[in-house]
Amino acid sequence: MFRNSRNITVHGGTFAVTEQFIHSEPALLNMFKASALGALYQSQEQPDLALHCDAQKPTLLAVSDWSLSDSGRKPILWLHGPSKDLNHAIAYIIARESAQRRELAASFFFSTGRTRCSSIDHFAPTIALQLALSLPRFHSVLARSLAEDPWVTNRAVPVQFETLVLKPLCTITDSWAHEPLLVLIDALDDCEGEENQDAIIMQVARLAHAHRDRLRFIIVSSSAPALRILHKKPQLRAVCVARDVRGMHELQTPRILLVKRRAVLVTSFFF
């Protein structure tokens, strides 16, 4: 998992950590214990993609359009719709394709049926843990932050986010050699408590403001939290584009889009 660590294996999204790792990375191990490994993309069962194929295509085209258009300058895309199954299928495909292109920095799949996956308490540690995988320098900076405050995973969510995500990212920006990476959040409405859903969005907005040229964010949820939060927090519209998946079926047929130096066939999203 970590660049300079040994004896770590990954099986279906679950990490087996040996005694040597415990001795070499004690601070990171504490955060590991506070994370929700069941919320990782790799731990998700593949949904029935064929069942939602026709509905997925226009939404995924819209994702590509957002990433390339002027609206893509707003670093948050919020996809919402009434069908949880469709929403999850869309999130899964986006995560899978982004991971295959090495563009997925982190993900969190909220779920009321998975241990820890419905609690805000594990959100920041889980995101930070994955950023340590995606960004080599982030690992060492994060370890220093945890050494300075070993109990940060027990603190309030804004403090967790500041210590585990925001500050480490600010430290490594001078050496950022990546094109923008994606952070994906699925089923936000499965996070327990509307106030916690609001808190997650506000922390994501802080991150988007600070690192809009380095990170992109896709949030997938039912329509209720999207409409509620965007109504309560109109300032989010400065960094967020919201799209109802039900209104995307008039988009054009799949086409080839150029992403900087790379050609991407949009139909590759679908299977």
Tokens (6 digits) for 26: 């004690």
DSSP-derived secondary structure letter, 247: G
For residue 260, the model assigns a pLDDT of 36
For residue 16, the model assigns a pLDDT of 41
Q: Dmax of the chain from CA atoms?
A: 56
More confident residue, 256 or 194: 194
Residue with tokens 């370890």: 143
Percent of the chain with pLDDT over 70: 75
Q: How far is CA 20 from CA 24, 25, 186, 205, in A?
A: 6, 9, 34, 38
For the residues 16-20, what does the mean pLDDT come to? 39
For the residues 117-121, what does the mean pLDDT come to? 94
What is the Rg, in whole angstroms, of the alpha carbon atoms belonging to the chain?
Answer: 18
* CB contact set of 131 (below 8 Å; sequence gap of 6+): 105, 106, 138, 142, 165, 168, 169
What is the sign of the dihedral through the CA atoms of 241, 246, 247 and 248?
positive
Evaluate whether 172 touches 138 at the Cβ level (below 8 Å): yes
For residue 264, the model assigns a pLDDT of 35
Evaluate whether 222 touches 90 at the Cβ level (below 8 Å): no
Most confident of the ranges 112-116, 186-190, 251-255: 186-190
More confident residue, 69 or 166: 166
Give the integer Cα–Cα distance in Å for 236 and 76: 9
DSSP-derived secondary structure letter, 8: E
Q: Of 102-106, 112-116, 251-255, which range is least confident? A: 251-255
Evaluate whether 107 touches 95 at the Cβ level (below 8 Å): yes
**What is the per-residue pLDDT across 43-90, written as a single tens digit (0 to 9) for each?**
877 787 767 776 677 777 778 777 766 555 789 999 999 888 889 989
Confidence of residue 250 (pLDDT cuts 50, 70, 90): very low
Cα–chain center distance at 16: 23
Evaluate whether 171 touches 40 at the Cβ level (below 8 Å): no
DSSP-derived secondary structure letter, 46: P
Among residues 8, 91, 105, 78, the alpha carbon closest in space to that of 227 is found at 78
Torsion angle (degrees, nearest 10) of CA 238, 243, 248, 253:
60
**What is the per-residue pLDDT across 173-203, written as a single tens digit (0 to 9) for each?**
666 666 788 999 999 999 999 999 999 999 9
The count of other CB atoms within 10 Å of the CB of residue 68 is 14
The count of other CB atoms within 10 Å of the CB of residue 12 is 10
Chain-wide mean pLDDT for the chain?
Answer: 77
Q: Does pLDDT of 204 surpass 90? A: yes
